[in-house]
Structure 1
Amino acid sequence: MALLNAKTLRDVRKCVEKYCANYAGGVCILHESPCDYYGKYGHSVSCDYFEQAVLPNEPLLQKAYEEAHGIINAEKEAVKYNVGKCAKCGEAFIKRSNRAKYCGACHAVKQREHNRNYMRKKRSS
């Protein structure tokens, strides 16, 4: 985890004072201790409540905060993988090849069905 620069830390503290429901006079009500961002190591800590509930209210601050802390957006991460939609059940799954049409569970069912039909045809001829 990287350190927040002085400007970002100052903006985070303002945001905590203004929007955080758990902040009361320098104390975090949730943890019953001093707020993480006001301590000696405030530039290098993170608070889950702040990141999930408060930070989304400030998009520019959120971007700077996430860059400093190395937080990866799940949507950006999903782009790295070839995500497909199963043709049978509609579930999203990570495609291991461009030809993949089914998720793991549906693929096994389809494979058995295909093998069954193949053997029927082979036995009848």
Structure 2
Amino acid sequence: MNQRKVKSMHSKLSRLAKNECASYKDGACAVQRCGRCIVAIETDSMPGNICGYFVRSVLPAVPELHAEYVDTFPKGHALRNEKPKLSDCKRCGESFEKRGNAAKYCSDCRALNDRDKARARKQKERREMSRD
């Protein structure tokens, strides 16, 4: 995310905190130790650290800004609320959370499948050795 977008989002968040946040009084936040609802910390394209009350209660009132803010967090962050990718196991049919695009089996069936493949590979190796 470029600096212009980060600064724009930061100013929108600041304006929202000043106008709508109940814990924002006299130019300071009553919840944050530093006294600011929005602390400018530049980390991995995140616009800043916002107090929990603001994120839970005030920010969802503006869905576009909330979505834009949440998109700045890295994948797997608690605020992203990403639903895990579920898929059906090719062996047992149970639903499981995919770890990658190539995942076909749940963890139990993956171990069984690896064991079966190792057995078949070893049998093939032994057959080829007996021919020689």
Q: TM-score, normalised by structure 2?
A: 0.48
Q: TM-score, normalised by structure 1?
A: 0.50
